[in-house]
Structure 1
Amino acid sequence: MAITRHKRENLTVNDRIKVNNQVSRDEIVPNLESVTFPVNIRVDNHIRNQVTAFINLGIEKNMKALIQHMIEKEKEDLDSSQLPRFEKMVNILEEKDYVAKSLKDANKSDK
């Protein structure tokens, strides 16, 4: 094993680096459309039974609508500092879904 030796030169900063063309994230990653595709949420039989009971009571017409209703109720209970954070996380996940779906579609068209 060789030992390398480097010359140590004094580095000086003559000029500060200046940014000529500042860009925002939106210029690099444009606002993406949202995509919708079916997914499954795994729950146990007890949760499924409770969801079905809420539907039977007429709170909502199906499981998707009931879960959306419950999400809206929870969002109403978030405090003012949590809501923007929640929305930012949802937007990030929506972007991830869009990119993943776009890549999947591109791979299908290549075959």
Structure 2
Amino acid sequence: MNDNNTYKVNGEIKLEKVSHINTNINNSKQSVPTFDVNMRVDNHTRNAVLALARATADKRTASEMVSILVESFLDNMTPSKLKIYQDFLDVLEKKDRLGYKLKNK
């Protein structure tokens, strides 16, 4: 379901934008730098994600599993909530672009 237009956050999470989001909402044409980050979750959440990842036939990584979970959650959101999500995502991606530019001058 994913296409070539993806956002990736490496480390514990890799979030790939799903195709229906790209076609309906995404207006950003700028590429977003990819760099390693950490996300704090409790041990039970980590264990659940790792168990889901390992239980699949494809033996997915935790990052891939989180992407699938996000995609599934987004599939059930209303268009107005998807718009709000996209606005927040765009702000966070813009922050990443600006921070990356400042660090790599």
User: TM-score higher than 0.5 here?
Assistant: yes
Percent identity (aligned) = 29
Instruction: Normalising by structure 2, report the TM-score.
Output: 0.66
Q: Out of 31, 34, 39, which is 2:32 matched to? A: 34
Q: Highest CA radius of gyration, 1 or 2?
A: 1
Once superposed, which parts of structure 1, at least 4 consecutive aligned residues long, lie more than 2 Å away? 30-33
**3-state SS in 2 of match to 1:35:** coil
User: Structure 1: any 5+ residue segments left out of the alignment?
Assistant: 1-29, 107-111
Q: Which residue of 2 aligns with 1:91?
A: 90
Q: How does 1:17-96 map to 2 (within 5 A)?
A: 32-58=30-56, 61-96=60-95
**3-state SS in 2 of match to 1:34:** coil
User: Structure 2: any 5+ residue segments left out of the alignment?
Assistant: 1-27
Aligned 8 A contact 1:32 1:98 in 2 = no
CA–CA distance in structure 2, aligned partners of residues 95 and 70 of structure 1: 23
CA–CA distance in structure 1, aligned partners of residues 29 and 66 of structure 2: 27
Corresponding pairs, count: 77
Query: Which amino acid in structure 2 is aligned with residue 97 of structure 1?
Result: D
Moved more, 57-66 or 36-45: 57-66
Tell me the alpha carbon deviations over residues 16-62 of structure 1, each in whole angstroms, 9 at most, x when there is no partner.
xxxxxxxxxxxxxx953211111111112111111111122116510
Query: Which amino acid in structure 2 is aligned with residue 33 of structure 1?
Result: S
CA–CA distance in structure 2, aligned partners of residues 64 and 34 of structure 1: 18
Query: Which amino acid in structure 1 is aligned with residue 89 of structure 2?
Result: V
Q: Which residue of 2 aligns with 1:100?
A: 99
